[in-house]
Structure 1
Amino acid sequence: MKLPYPHLAFLLFIGSLLLTACESPGYNDNPSQQMTKATVGCLVATDFFAVYFSAYIKPANDSNTKMTVKDRKALFRSYCKNIPTTGTAFFTADVVGDELRQTPIGIRIVEQELTGGDEDKAENFKDIRTIAEIPAKLYPRGAVEAQAQLDKNGYYAIYLMVGGEEALSDEDKLRIPLHVGVDPDANPIRTYIAIGIGGTVGLALIGFVAYRFMRRQNSQ
């Protein structure tokens, strides 16, 4: 019995999907806080509140050199966790929900040190220097803004403290991690591993289908 061409095309299509299905970025596996790429900024959330966060960087040496078109575009690019260079950083966080617009929010920006383990887990960091701090106040329009001078590569974090000084528990704090000096377009190694596995499986399926098809053709 001859294998119908539509069936072959369908199986080849499924195999090609396996070559690309693993390219989607993963999610933070920390169950208490998530940071994912959204259409407007990055969604950073705990079990109690959430914001859409964006960071913009002004390179430290932009005033001393003639800016190219590429440099100007970089000034208007927003970042999530990974920021490519040092400089003056501008942060915006649009709060989700009306309740947070009626509650004072304090801001603290700190430099951190990775003490070991998975860098996606907040407990593996410790604060070593406060870069900037803004007292708690109301943000009735829902746009929380701050800026800080990120003067060297490394780890930083922004704490949004709901209730200001009364935010004593972790439930009232939202930590937004930052990593300066990292290419934001680079894929993590686990993505490459997933792509490699998906590609191997996809190619194997395509080869098997082609082999079966040619064998049936030769048997006619």
Structure 2
Amino acid sequence: MIFTLPLALKRLCKQKESTDCNDDCFIRKRRTGFGSWISKNVKKNIAFIFAFLSFPLFCFGHGGSDNGGMECGILSQGGYAIHLDVYVYGRMGQFKTYCQNIPNTGKMTMVFDLITPDLRTIPLEVKVVDESTGKPILEVPPKLYSSGVASIDVTFEKTGKYMTHITLVKGDGSNPIVFKFPINVGLSSFLTSPIVMGGIVLGIVVVGALIFFFVSKRRREAASSIASSKA
């Protein structure tokens, strides 16, 4: 009895405290529920917004990254499919592959993957046209690429927009199938321009600050309401 009485008293006190707290706790949970939810999810929300807005910054290519690869996209037409990578050579034999947006002028290699096996038996004509003048800067006569890969060197001497035409020469050539690959040389895309990048970063900071201010305000209001109800 000597050892069990203190335990019983403690339990009785806890029940008393719990009973006294019921109304107060209910008010506190009710008033701070929404603010508490935002507080718990504020980091998650900011991280999601940052990831959502930052994702385009990493897309410098034709729907992909500056590493090229199959994520650059495949053009399909007339039952045929072709994929393009542009190899830009740097120092010490190093190179990078791009899809559509090339950062600098100079000599580079266009590599066309003939996805459809039948393309290996069809002569292909390649032409690169400067869209500002409408004149071709490169013309390659019809040729068979039996290996399934066409590697063509080209030199872009000035920045601008270009269009690569790949024409399938079949039969009498009356109904040619033409694949068109746009190439932008030395032009910053909208999402990669410094102004847009700065605006996105500023927007993220502003949104984060507003959420923080709102959560802090809700906490202060909840604390003030609880203090006044106790008084």
Q: Give the counterpart letter for 1:215 in structure 2.
A: E
- Look up the SS of the partner of 1:131 in the other structure: strand
| Equivalent residue number for residue 115 of structure 2 | 96
| Equivalent residue number for residue 10 of structure 1 | 41
Q: TM-score, normalization: structure 2?
A: 0.62
Counterparts in 2 of 1:191 and 1:97: CA distance versus 1, 3 Å: farther
Counterparts in 2 of 1:155 and 1:218: CA distance versus 1, 3 Å: same
- Look up the SS of the partner of 1:37 in the other structure: coil
1:205 pairs with 2:225: no
Unmatched segments (≥5 aa) in structure 1: 27-34, 60-70, 114-125
Counterparts in 2 of 1:211 and 1:10: CA distance versus 1, 3 Å: same
CA distance in 2 between partners of 1:211 and 1:102 (Å)? 71
For structure 1, which segment, 187-196 or 89-98, has the greater mean C-alpha deviation from structure 2 after superposition? 187-196
Match of 1:180 among 182, 185, 201: 185
CA distance in 2 between partners of 1:44 and 1:11 (Å)? 40
1:45 pairs with 2:75: yes
Match of 1:160 among 144, 161, 166: 166
Name the one with the larger strand percent.
1
Deviations 1:146-197 (A, max 9, x none): 112222232322111123682756xx22222222233689714666655655
Q: Give the counterpart letter for 1:180 in structure 2.
A: V
Shift of 1:91: 0.7
Paired-residue identity, %: 21
Across the aligned residues of Structure 1 and Structure 2, the Cα RMSD in angstroms comes to 3.5
| Equivalent residue number for residue 144 of structure 1 | 150
CA distance in 2 between partners of 1:82 and 1:195 (Å)? 23
Larger radius of gyration: 2
Shift of 1:89: 1.6
- Look up the SS of the partner of 2:98 in the other structure: coil
CA distance in 1 between partners of 2:83 and 2:210 (Å)? 41
CA distance in 2 between partners of 1:76 and 1:52 (Å)? 19
Counterparts in 2 of 1:208 and 1:97: CA distance versus 1, 3 Å: farther
Deviations 1:92-120 (A, max 9, x none): 1223333434433221122220xxxxxxx
Name the one with the larger helix percent.
2
Q: Give the counterpart letter for 1:103 in structure 2.
A: I
Superposition map of 1:7-156 within 5 A: 8-25=39-56, 35-37=62-64, 40=69, 42-46=72-76, 48=78, 49-58=80-89, 71-72=91-92, 75-113=94-132, 127-128=134-135, 130-156=136-162
Counterparts in 2 of 1:36 and 1:96: CA distance versus 1, 3 Å: farther
Q: TM-score, normalization: structure 1?
A: 0.64
CA distance in 1 between partners of 2:221 and 2:43 (Å)? 16
